A and B are shown apart, each in its own frame.
Chain A
Amino acid sequence: MSAKRKYKRRYDSLPTVLLFVLPALIPLIVFWIYPILRTIYLSFTNWDYISPTYKLVGIKNYLSLFRNPRFYEALWHTLVFTAGTLFPTIILGLVLALLLVKNFRGSGILKFIIFSPWITPTVAISIVWSWIYKTDGGIANTILTSLGMSPLKWIASSDTAMLSVIIVTIWKSLGYAMIFYLSALEKVPGELYEAGALDGAHGWRQFVDITLPSISPTTFFLTIITMVNSLQAYDQIQVLTQGGPSGSTRTLLYMYYQLGFNEFNMGQATAVAVVMILLTVGLSLIQFKVSEKWVYY
């Protein structure tokens, strides 16, 4: 077949291809690609979110953002929050899955209870946790004092507010990680463990040499998902701390919200959003690159 005919055939089939692709492409364009492009455009303007007109201001928003210490503080909080939720969620999710992978009486109910925070709205969860964290009479402090420890101020103090939000986020996503790990653990071929038993791999050795590599694709998937979820965390911060006290829980996303909807500086807010997109893409790329060394398909 000549190149010209080949090209013609491709060209002929374009309407058919579009017909199949459009149902997926239209929502993608309307709700994702266009808003992203629009956000990038707005980040070069001085729009105040209310006025019908605005001017292009070049990279002014970015320059003032990078000169603003509040931005670096929020970036740092974002990284702390992401790391603080990512590792415990993955590790504890795996531990729970290992404990519950063997069916025993009540294990089904236990799995459901651990998973249930994932399907409960974050706002509802956060309201309940705000009661738990109450300085006077909250369950958290009741437990601490009953264990002979001194009570904490939790969300009321800038020292512990971030920890408090992290705990809520881990608690919420733990069940999700566990469910994925449960399924991954069940899929590890029994023969691998048997071969390992004959080779002399037991206990910790078996876990490190056989289990962990076998479930590495799940670990990778959960790492990406948990990271993205952490970067996008908003509800729990809004309900529990509103970014405070004194900005101690202000992440980039929360800063975006405050800039855009409290301070009516949509130009700078969208600049923060663009930085967040770059951060997410950058972290994901690093993970994909590093994953070549530890993920086995």
Chain B
Amino acid sequence: MAEIILKNVTKEYENGFQAVKNINLEIKDNEFVILVGPSGCGKSTTLRMIAGLEDISDGDLYLDGKRINDVSPQDRDIAMVFQNYALYPHMTVYQNIAYSLKIKKVPKDEIDKRVKDVAASLGLENLLDRRPGQLSGGQKQRVAMGRAIIRHPKAFLMDEPLSNLDAKLRGQMRVEIADLYRRLNTTFIYVTHDQTEAMTLGTKIVVMKDGEIMQIDNPTNLFNYPNNKFVAGFIGTPTMNFFEGEIEEKGDGLILKTRDGFIPLTAEKAAKVREGGWVGKKVTAGIRPEHVELSDQDSAAFRGEVSVFELLGSNAIIYTQCQDDRIIMNTDQTQYQEHGKEIFLKVKEAKLHLFDPETERTITN
């Protein structure tokens, strides 16, 4: 159990490249924090700085109130699961799991008991004599977790632990990690570029881009109330539709004028738009595919031709090519549309997001 605080932490390499730029992050005891973002956003570097595998160029790192910038990795009492598992190939599963205890000169009986307990909890009892080369990806992953668990660390760090597994196994292991978190009841910090993993596992998600934190929030808020266009686009599958429009007065209210039609703004959104002085100005709008619907010509915001109909089982994705934009709609399987057919689309007004086209900050969610 641990509380980890990063204060104005920066990582700058010798060539001047800043991988992490002045980030502040507070990780409370027992939280499952996910660092998520595209490749090169600095999430792994941040994790490695917490682990002690990378020096911190500037700023402070605290573990339970103690500054640990200069504390060596093994003295931080933190365990890490690596992307490629990093199992010692010449050691058996047993030896891999027991290694850290052996170095600490823990008595053999205790090592044996702890290894067997951990192996039992991860379903590795029958594999203890095998070498990593004889294990499947999922089994290796479990051994890597076993090696971390046995130390009873204050915090678990996981660097894209599922990225080497196939889709089905990834799903299974995700559930196992969630279960492990519940059982161990300790702090988890997990790096991934997969937003599904982020949304399903995390109690707190940190979205990063270009070494900076874009937003820190729980999964629901991140999905419903993104701080900016990047977060809105990064979280959610299929990705959010973005299109340009202009705010205009219509009657008592405001509308977002699109190329093919308009979207009325709810009173709440209209108030925020007026407050920000956006009336008469161009904005970037965003709508999630599940909030797009088929409509008639009169109430349509978009008109376009169906380019792809993708059946995914219970639901289906319709890609519609409009004049300037491609609008994605997530609907149910009964809404089959033929390729090339002209269709009209409207959006759920309450779910519309508006962004500043220059700064990409959210105007209203």
Contact = CB atoms under 8 A, between A and B. Distances in A.
A189 B86 CA distance: 8
Chain B's interface size range is 20 to 34
A189 B84 contact: yes
B80 A198 contact: yes
A213 B73 contact: no
Interface string B106-120: 000000000000000
Interface in A81-130: none
Contacts of A191: 82-84, 86
Contacts of A196: 88
B contacts with A: majority SS: loop
A173 B120 CA distance: 50
B78 interface: yes
Nearest to B131: A296
A192 B99 CA distance: 13
A201 interface: yes
Given A213-B90, A214-B90, A216-B90, A198 B79 contact: yes
Contacts of A197: 52-53, 72-74
A195 B100 CA distance: 10
A198 B78 contact: yes
B340 interface: no
A210 B86 CA distance: 11
A159 interface: no
B89 interface: yes
A194 B87 CA distance: 11
Interface string A214-243: 101000000000000000000000000000
B334 to A, nearest CB: 49
B89 A205 contact: no
Contacts of B53: 194, 197-198
Contacts of A200: 74, 100, 103-104
Contacts of A201: 99, 103
A7 interface: no
A255 B79 CA distance: 62
Contacts of A194: 51, 53, 73, 80, 82, 86
B133 interface: yes
Given A194-B53, A297-B133, A199 B103 contact: yes
Contacts, number: 60
A198 B133 CA distance: 22
Nearest to B77: A198
Contacts of A213: 88-90
A205 B100 CA distance: 12
A93 to B, nearest CB: 21
A263 interface: no
A209 interface: yes
B99 to A, nearest CB: 5
Chain A's interface size range is 10 to 19
Contacts of B87: 195
A214 B87 CA distance: 12
B90 A296 contact: yes
Nearest to B48: A194
Contacts of B100: 198-200
A202 to B, nearest CB: 8
A33 to B, nearest CB: 36
Contact of A296 (B78, B89, B103): B89
Interface string B47-74: 0000111000000000000000000111
A192 B73 contact: no
Contacts of B99: 199, 201, 209
Nearest to A297: B133
A65 to B, nearest CB: 43
A195 B89 CA distance: 12
Nearest to A197: B73
Interface string B129-152: 001010000000000000100000
B61 to A, nearest CB: 16
Contact of A198 (B51, B88, B131): B51
A195 B51 CA distance: 10
A174 to B, nearest CB: 26
Specify which of A197, A199, A297 lies most central, judged by the most chain B CB atoms within 10 Å of its CB. A199
Contacts of A198: 51-53, 73-74, 78-80, 100
Nearest to B80: A198
A216 B53 CA distance: 26
B86 A199 contact: no
A265 to B, nearest CB: 50
A197 B90 CA distance: 17
Contacts of B82: 191, 194-195
13 contacts: A191-B86, A192-B88, A194-B73, A195-B82, A197-B72, A197-B73, A198-B78, A201-B103, A209-B88, A214-B89, A214-B90, A296-B89, A297-B133
A-B residue pairs, 4 tightest by C-beta: A213-B90, A296-B90, A191-B86, A200-B74
Interface of B: 51-53, 72-74, 78-80, 82-84, 86-90, 99-100, 103-104, 131, 133, 147
Given A192-B88, A194-B53, 5 more contacts: A194-B80, A195-B80, A196-B88, A209-B88, A214-B89
